[in-house]
Amino acid sequence: MTHTKRHAAAEKARYPAAPDNPPPTQQHFAHISRYWDRENQGYAAKLLPGEYYVTTAGERISTVLGSCVSACVRDRRLGIGGMNHFMLPLDASKGSSIWGTAVSAATRYGNVAMERLINDILKLGGRRDSLEVKLVGGGRVLGGIAIDIGARNIEFVRKYVADEGFSVAGEDLGDIFPRKVHYSPETGKLRVKKLNAVRNDTLYERERHYLEVLDRDPVGNDIELF
């Protein structure tokens, strides 16, 4: 064998490939991208903006955050939990006409992102008083001089967590860098790698597109009378 082939073979031996399929997951997570993390010898789920994932099978959850924020929530006793990835839409005019700006469309999106995550954990046996919360993201990546979108997202998620009576066990928020994030609900460990602010067109485009979709998307059309 050549040197490179031997090296590759040794790497493969040291980090064996996935032994079998990813652990079964709930129907509403069927479309979430899951992969075998060779380095950590375990399955992981990769989130895109707007997605969330909850696991009871010791999986890790990863994502890349620019101005978006992620709440990492787990039940300490059971080692189950998950993560979301969201941003508040800019257009606060939807809904503010009747309710006033207090419950803007922007806030309602954020509330849903948090509610889904927490409710799923509680339904899987989690208890509110055992929940541990870590917050990450909200970098000054998107937006111009006039508006700090990251800061807006951070303000929302901090307030939400405080209103719900949770304390923040760890955080890595703000600054001007995008972040690559790995979270393990089983151990509670949150690993953050700060990325180069300049050379990240994919992330910038993805978040900008997500914000556009949020602002365009008519909210509240799923009403069914039986």
CB 78 within 8 A of CB 134: no
What span, in angstroms and rounded, lies between the C-alpha atoms of 197 and 179? 9
**Cβ at position 103, least distance to other proteins in Å:** 8
Pick the binder of other proteins from 87, 105, 173, 192 (CB under 8 A).
Answer: 105
Pick the closest to residue 179 from 12, 47, 53, 43 (CA basis): 47
What span, in angstroms and rounded, lies between the C-alpha atoms of 188 and 223? 37
User: Strand pairing partners for 69?
Assistant: 86, 137
CB 84 within 8 A of CB 70: yes
Stretch that binds other proteins, among 6-14, 29-37, 111-119, 130-138 (CB under 8 A): 111-119
Q: Compute the Cα dihedral for 215, 218, 222, 225 and give only its sign.
A: positive
**Cβ at position 161, least distance to other proteins in Å:** 18
Check binding of 126 to other proteins (CB under 8 A).
no
72 noted as active-site residue: no
Check binding of 147 to other proteins (CB under 8 A).
no
What is the CA 149 to chain-centroid distance, rounded? Answer: 16
What span, in angstroms and rounded, lies between the C-alpha atoms of 132 and 147? 31
Q: Which positions ≥6 away from 80 have C-beta within 8 Å?
A: 54, 55, 56, 74, 121, 124, 125, 126, 185, 186
Q: How many residues bind other proteins (CB under 8 A)?
A: 27
Check binding of 190 to other proteins (CB under 8 A).
no
CB 139 within 8 A of CB 174: yes
- Pairing state between β 179-183 and 60-65: antiparallel
Nearer to other proteins, 169 or 219 (CB): 219
Check binding of 98 to other proteins (CB under 8 A).
yes
**Cβ at position 74, least distance to other proteins in Å:** 18
Check binding of 91 to other proteins (CB under 8 A).
no
Catalytically annotated residue among 45, 47, 65, 68: 68
Nearer to other proteins, 37 or 120 (CB): 120
Pick the binder of other proteins from 7, 77, 128, 189 (CB under 8 A).
Answer: 128
Check binding of 111 to other proteins (CB under 8 A).
yes
Check binding of 219 to other proteins (CB under 8 A).
yes
Check binding of 17 to other proteins (CB under 8 A).
no
Check binding of 119 to other proteins (CB under 8 A).
yes
Summarize as ranges the residues that interact with other proteins (CB under 8 A): 27-28, 94-95, 97-99, 105, 108-109, 111-112, 115-116, 119, 122-123, 128, 218-226
The residues assigned a catalytic role are 68
